[in-house]
Amino acid sequence: MSSITTITTQFFKNVFKKAIIIVASFAYLFFVQGSALAATQTYTSNGTFTVPVGVNQLTVSMSGAGGGGGALSNSGGGASGGASSIGALLTAAGGNGGRNGSADIGGGAGGLAGGTGGLNGSNGTDLGYGGNGGDSLFGTGGPRNSSKFTNASNGTGYGAGGGGGFDGGGGGGAQAFSSTTISVTPGQVLPITVGAGGTRSTGDGAMAFGGNGAPGFVQISYVLDTTAPVITLLGSTPVTVNYGTAYVDAGATAVDNIDGNRTSNIVTVNSVNVNALGTYTITYNVSDTSGNAATQVTRTVNVVDTVAPVITILGANPVTVAQGSVYTDAGATALDNVNGVRPVTTTGTVNTAVVGVYTIAYTASDLSSNTATATRTVNVTDQTAPTATVAYSTTAPTNGNVTATMTPSESVTITNNGGLSSYTFTANGSFTFNLTDTAGNTGSVTATVSNIDKIVPVITITPYTLTPTNQDIVVTASTNEGTLNASSTTFTVNGSFNFVATDTAGNVSTSTVIITNIDKIIPVITLFGIDPVTVAYSSVYNDAGAAAFDNIGGDITSSIIVANPVNTNISGTYTMSYSVSDSAGNAAIQVTRTVNVVDTAPPVITILGSNPESVVINTAYIDAGATAFDNADATTTVATTSTVDTSILGADTVTYVSTDSSANTATSTRVVNVIAVPDTAAPVITILGANPLTIEGGAVYVDAGATALDNVDGDITANIVATSTVNTAVIGTYTVTYNVSDSSGNNATQVTRTVNVADTTAPVITIVGSNPASVVANSVYTELGATALDNVNGVRPVTTIGAVDTSVIGAYILTYISSDLSGNISTANRTVNVVAADSLSQVTITNSTIGGIFYASYTPTIASGAALGITGTSTITNSTINAPWNLTDVNFNGVTLTNATVAQTNVASSTIINANLTACTITNSFVKNYFAIGCAVTDSIVDPVGGLNDLTGTTVSGNSQIYYSDVTYSTVVSSYIATSTISYSTLANATSTDSTIATSTITGSTIDLSALTFADVTGSTVTASSTITSSTVATSTVSGSTISDSTSITNSNIVDATVASSTLNNVTVLGTGSTITNSTLSNTTVTDAVIVNDIMSSGTIVLPDGTPMLVSTSTQLSSLVNYAPVASFGTAVNNLNLAITDTSIDPNSSAVFTDSWTYNWDFGDSAASTLATTTIGNNNQAHTYVSAGSYTVSLTITDQYGLSSATSSLVTVNAPIVPDTTAPVIVILGNNPETVTQGSVYTDAGATAFDNIDLDI
């Protein structure tokens, strides 16, 4: 077959193959996907593809580019085709370029760069002809050159190789993909790369050139899912469940045509409450990943009551009653699982006159018509014991025997006394006959003989009062037998009386009564204080009291009964009375005091709305009115007089007058400003300085600020609110935002500056100890090391390089290296001199007095120092040191000064104790118990272990630490102060903890746990329970602190702080923990704070519904901010019934806030009530308890903004009292009558008493 035939055949094969691919793609999109919407996008150059919403996978056809054909040359070849790709998800490699041929050797074929779909180009020949370009899935390779001097053809379609030129190989076909599926995410942005065709080789330029490779392409197809998923309900609907039983929902399933099973994504809303009867609806919703929402499916759930009440029979069951007695049924109670206590109906009767078995039936039904029954069995039996009467042979006093004869009431058997019905007494006493009737009931009758008398009569004196009394005392007496000379006697005064008794046998006895407790003299009351007394209405009345004295009881003031009706909340005249009685009941003459309560206070007028108020010219002015409250009158009227004329610019007034019933008059005035039409044009902010700006980490950032210009207000730069997130302690990028509003409340467009905090500064290495240092030869050298402090990373590790050989005299270098986290490196060196033993100087003394000897300049040797008492650590004690003088560490142990006076001295690496310092420089030292005037303290620790220090006119810097000090007229920079008192000083970039700061300037510092008074705070952070009083705060952040007493706060942030009696300007108040009280706010933004009695003159306040409100005129914030309801209620109890009166209060202005409250009642017995209402303070309740007891009733009220309050009250309820009409029964114990022997001791057997209600009494 000729080469032309081969090329033609290959071309039609490729065309047919591409047609099949296109037809297959359309068939997939329109037949396989059903109703989905298909789309295709083809790229022939680089670009991006954004995955549409609702698309999770793409169908891709793509090809890399074909390689270029080779030509005659000794080097190189055709260029390889470029790869095509969709991000990192799929890549089609390009074909390799065909190799060049040499003068007599054909070039190699261009190979495929991997994958499938591309074909190799053929080799070139040594006859001057090249190889054909390789085909690809979407293109046909270019034919080789047709003659030695005719260039080869380019590849056609996509990805085909170019034909080979003179002796050159054909370019390779590219890798390709057809209808390949890849997974993606909606919204994902994919970079698209399309490979460029490999360029041909021109060889030596004299013969035929190779052909260029065909470019690649990328084709993306996808379908949009528009079919919603389908929800299938599991289980039945409707569903019926019993009240109080658990309801477990059967759920539902969801299937989507694309996503498949979507059951786990179903959103179920289940409102079923099995503790409340009713019909509930459960809804099921779901959407597929393409956002198609399924049709909502619902299930109906009916909560019903099928359980009858439970009847509890009270008392015994069965019960047995005696024939002829009264049967009182104990009744029954019924309790329902839903309706609680239910009424019980009782049926059936008991006839106790007839012995037999009777049934009482109880029936109860609930509100769902479920009925329960219960029965009680009552057995009526004969339980009456037999009785008898007794007759005696004589009842008169006698010394002989007495015979008792028993006569029964029915036929009985006498089971004792030998069955005899008579018994003979030889002495007083008792005998009981035991009886049994025909029903088996046993009884007895007792015969008692008491008329055999040989004992004198016994006189019994009736008890009489022994306590003091002012009444006559009547004493009565009785005798067990015989007669008395008198049955009673009356004592009108103290004295004695004899009672004499004589019995029928002539026995006589006497009893004497003595009375000493009659008192008829009244006590006397003496009034303290003045009478009458005048007190002011609503004030507290403290009574002066009175005293009482009695002839017997002495001082009985504590027994005075005072009747005090005085109510200072009601004007009028009140009479107080003082009464007392002594222990004998003698009442003193009552003493009284007159108390006059008078009202002198005028009403208090509250102007509603703003004052002053503004109204635009030529618009209607509607006055908000005013209310008046009087301390005495329940209602008070307000008369209004207005001069407002809205046609003229200026200030007018509205006057309110109120007079109470006591003629006290109050007047209040509202100013109404008639203003021009408001300004609506916003001001313009211009940033000063660089933007963006780069600053060194750890440095102090001072913002260059911005300017603001308004069309009406002009330059309002001073009002700009700058908010900075810059933290130079942390490397990073920060922003400073600028905002401003003009006097009309127009907000400028926010402007932002970018601040980049970078770290280019290496750590600072501080060598500990002396440098240079000296050490005695052949001794041990102790290396003190070095510390490193980075401006950003703080303390950093230090590496020491080098060593000291003390066996060899000489100078040694120790190198210290440290780096920060940003890679900045610093080094420092210490020179250590190893010297001979006797040459080392321990201390240098200049112009000093030591031990009474003056040394102008003296450096002693070890021996000389020892002679002066200075050895070891070079301690100078009790020295007077005058300027000029230098004291430095010479033996790397530090010099210690104790009880010294130091002036104009440089002190380094030393410890200073109990010193007076004047105009000194102190570096790297420990300072304790000192007084410093005009000194500079750098890199030192001031009193790390306690004591009391004074700094006056002193500069503290270089990361110094100051503890327990009084700092006055001083400057503290980049240092730390704790537990100190600071006054009349300046703090910059400093940290103060647990200190007291007064009349000072604080800039760029951090203050916590401190008290600030009369201070200027700028660009600082105040945290952790600090207090700020009578100070100025600007461009700062205050959190967790208390601010009070006319403090001025400007351009600052307040977070979770308490502000009282202060002025806020350009301040942002954030956090639910913030409280603002009795303050004035201007240009202020308030969010989520609690605000009490405040006035905002200008600014923005976020209302409870989340709406920001611009305030441009002085406004009482209580008219804007919603307050929580105040819950309260009163109770009244009647047996088991409770009546509740709602007395809750809405503290908000009803003209501004129309509250909607939700009441939640808890009655303390597992019963509750929830009621949403817009009727404020009228949610009265009634509740009936099942049983008596004490219960806590609770009320929680929540308004529509979520603000709530709660209260509770303890109530006690009692069961209703059932009248008791049955008398108790007394049973005499022992014999009746009873017989005792004359002269013996009679002990009564007593009796018992039983009541149907009170039981054993």
Amino acid at 104: D
Q: Which residue has the higher pLDDT, 1033 or 841?
A: 1033
User: For the CA atoms of the chain, what is the radius of gyration?
Assistant: 57
Residue 976 per-residue DSSP state: E
pLDDT band at 661 (very low <50, low <70, confident <90, very high): confident
Does residue 398 sit in the same domain as residue 377?
A: no
pLDDT of 1071 higher than 80:
no
Does residue 430 sit in the same domain as residue 484?
A: no
Does residue 578 sit in the same domain as residue 608?
A: no
Whether 927 contacts 909, CB under 8 Å: no
Please classify residue 328 by burial: count the beta carbons closer than 10 Å to its beta carbon, then call 0-12 exposed, 13-18 middle and 19+ buried: exposed
Least confident interval from 198-202, 276-280, 749-753: 198-202
Q: Which residue has the higher pLDDT, 938 or 1241?
A: 1241
Please classify residue 383 by burial: count the beta carbons closer than 10 Å to its beta carbon, then call 0-12 exposed, 13-18 middle and 19+ buried: middle
- According to DSSP, the residues that pair with 1076 across neighbouring strands are 1059, 1091
Give the span between the Cα atoms of 716 and 1083, in whole angstroms.
Answer: 12
The per-residue pLDDT for 958 is: 54
Does residue 21 sit in the same domain as residue 150?
A: yes
For 1158, the domain range is 1129-1213
Give the span between the Cα atoms of 288 and 271, in whole angstroms.
Answer: 25
Tell me phi and psi for residue 448, to 5 degrees.
Answer: -125, 130
Whether 283 contacts 296, CB under 8 Å: yes
pLDDT band at 173 (very low <50, low <70, confident <90, very high): confident
Torsion sign (Cα): 1041, 1042, 1047, 1051: positive
The per-residue pLDDT for 113 is: 39
Amino acid at 308: A
pLDDT of 879 higher than 60:
no
The per-residue pLDDT for 953 is: 52
Residue 1114 falls inside a structural domain = no
- According to DSSP, the residues that pair with 986 across neighbouring strands are 971, 1001
Residue 1098 falls inside a structural domain = no
What are the C-alpha distances in Å from 1066 to residues 699, 873, 1034, 1112? 27, 59, 9, 13
Give the span between the Cα atoms of 460 and 910, in whole angstroms.
Answer: 107
Among 702, 724, 758, residue at a domain's last position: 758
The per-residue pLDDT for 1200 is: 73
Q: What is the pTM of this model?
A: 0.29
Whether 831 contacts 813, CB under 8 Å: yes
| Residue 1072 in tokens | 């639910």
Peptide bond connecting 532 to the previous residue in cis, omega within 30 degrees of 0 = yes
Three-state DSSP at 19 gives helix
Amino acid at 1189: G
Residue 1115 falls inside a structural domain = no
- According to DSSP, the residues that pair with 224 across neighbouring strands are 37
Give the span between the Cα atoms of 441 and 1229, in whole angstroms.
Answer: 19
Give the span between the Cα atoms of 667 and 661, in whole angstroms.
Answer: 15
Does residue 894 sit in the same domain as residue 961?
A: yes
Residues 6+ apart with CB under 8 A from 793: 759, 763, 820, 821, 822
Does residue 219 sit in the same domain as residue 256?
A: no
The per-residue pLDDT for 134 is: 87
| Dihedral in degrees, nearest 10, Cα atoms 536, 540, 541, 544 | -130
The per-residue pLDDT for 634 is: 77
The pLDDT tens digits of the residues spanning 27-57 come to 333 333 334 456 889 999 999 999 887 788 8
Does residue 850 sit in the same domain as residue 946?
A: yes
Say which residue the tokens 């069961």 belong to: 1215
Residue 187 falls inside a structural domain = yes
Other Cβ atoms closer than 10 A to 750: 12
pLDDT band at 1022 (very low <50, low <70, confident <90, very high): low
The per-residue pLDDT for 355 is: 86
Please classify residue 16 by burial: count the beta carbons closer than 10 Å to its beta carbon, then call 0-12 exposed, 13-18 middle and 19+ buried: exposed
What are the C-alpha distances in Å from 731 to residues 691, 723, 726? 18, 19, 10
Torsion sign (Cα): 938, 941, 943, 948: positive
pLDDT of 901 higher than 50:
no
Peptide bond connecting 565 to the previous residue in cis, omega within 30 degrees of 0 = no
- Edge-to-edge strands of the sheet including 413-414? 413-414, 429-436, 442-449
Residue 1036 falls inside a structural domain = no
Give the span between the Cα atoms of 501 and 487, in whole angstroms.
Answer: 10
Three-state DSSP at 867 gives helix
Does residue 154 sit in the same domain as residue 186?
A: yes
pLDDT of 1140 higher than 80:
yes
Does residue 79 sit in the same domain as residue 187?
A: yes
The mean per-residue pLDDT over the stretch 252-280 comes to 91
| Residue 57 in tokens | 């996978």
Whether 69 contacts 134, CB under 8 Å: no
Q: Which residue has the higher pLDDT, 938 or 732?
A: 732
The pLDDT tens digits of the residues spanning 76-115 come to 678 889 999 999 999 999 988 888 775 444 444 444 433 3
Tell me phi and psi for residue 169, to 5 degrees.
Answer: -75, 150
Whether 757 contacts 732, CB under 8 Å: yes
Residue 1048 falls inside a structural domain = no
Amino acid at 123: N
In the chain, pLDDT over 90 holds for what percent of residues? 30
Give the span between the Cα atoms of 77 and 218, in whole angstroms.
Answer: 27
Three-state DSSP at 1119 gives helix
The per-residue pLDDT for 928 is: 46
DSSP of 419-481, one letter per residue? G-SEEEESSSEEEEEEEE-TTS-EEEEEEEE--B--S---EEEPP---S-BSS-EEEEEEESS
pLDDT of 964 higher than 60:
no
The per-residue pLDDT for 116 is: 32
The per-residue pLDDT for 29 is: 37
Does residue 214 sit in the same domain as residue 128?
A: yes
Tell me phi and psi for residue 1111, to 5 degrees.
Answer: -110, 120
CATH of the domain at 284: 2.60.40.10
Give the span between the Cα atoms of 1033 and 1023, in whole angstroms.
Answer: 13
- According to DSSP, the residues that pair with 1183 across neighbouring strands are 1138
Does residue 148 sit in the same domain as residue 165?
A: yes
Whether 1168 contacts 1192, CB under 8 Å: no
Residue 920 falls inside a structural domain = yes
- Of 899, 893, 905, 892, give the one whose Cα is nearest residue 845: 905
Among 979, 1001, 1024, residue at a domain's last position: 979
The pLDDT tens digits of the residues spanning 845-876 come to 554 455 445 555 555 655 455 444 444 334 44
The per-residue pLDDT for 968 is: 59
DSSP of 780-804, one letter per residue? ------EEEEETTTEEE--EEE---
**Left (φ > 0), alpha (ψ -120 to 50) or beta: where does 1046 sit?**
left
pLDDT of 628 higher than 60:
yes
Q: Are strands 310-313 and 297-304 parallel, antiparallel or unpaired?
A: unpaired
User: 659-662: long-range contacts (C-beta < 8 A, 24 or more apart)?
Assistant: 659/602, 659/603, 660/599, 660/602, 660/603, 660/630, 660/632, 660/633, 660/636, 661/599, 661/632, 661/633, 662/571, 662/598, 662/599, 662/600, 662/632
The pLDDT tens digits of the residues spanning 1183-1237 come to 999 888 899 999 998 877 677 788 999 999 887 776 677 788 787 888 888 888 8
The pLDDT tens digits of the residues spanning 460-474 come to 999 998 888 988 999
Q: What is the chain's percent helix, strand, coil content, to nearest 5?
A: 5, 45, 50
Least confident interval from 497-501, 613-617, 1031-1035, 1249-1253: 1031-1035
The mean per-residue pLDDT over the stretch 639-656 comes to 91
Amino acid at 1205: S
The pLDDT tens digits of the residues spanning 1151-1193 come to 555 677 888 889 988 876 666 565 566 788 889 998 888 999 9
Element (H, E) at 865: helix 862-867
The mean per-residue pLDDT over the stretch 1024-1047 comes to 60
First to last CA, the chain: 138
Residue 884 falls inside a structural domain = yes
Does residue 58 sit in the same domain as residue 191?
A: yes
| Dihedral in degrees, nearest 10, Cα atoms 586, 588, 589, 594 | -140
The per-residue pLDDT for 1123 is: 64
Amino acid at 274: V
The mean per-residue pLDDT over the stretch 1101-1122 comes to 65
The per-residue pLDDT for 1062 is: 60
Among 810, 839, 868, residue at a domain's last position: 839
pLDDT band at 13 (very low <50, low <70, confident <90, very high): very low
Specify the length of the chain in residues. Answer: 1257
Average pLDDT, the chain: 78
Please tell me the total count of domains within the chain.
11
Give the span between the Cα atoms of 129 and 152, in whole angstroms.
Answer: 9
Amino acid at 1022: V
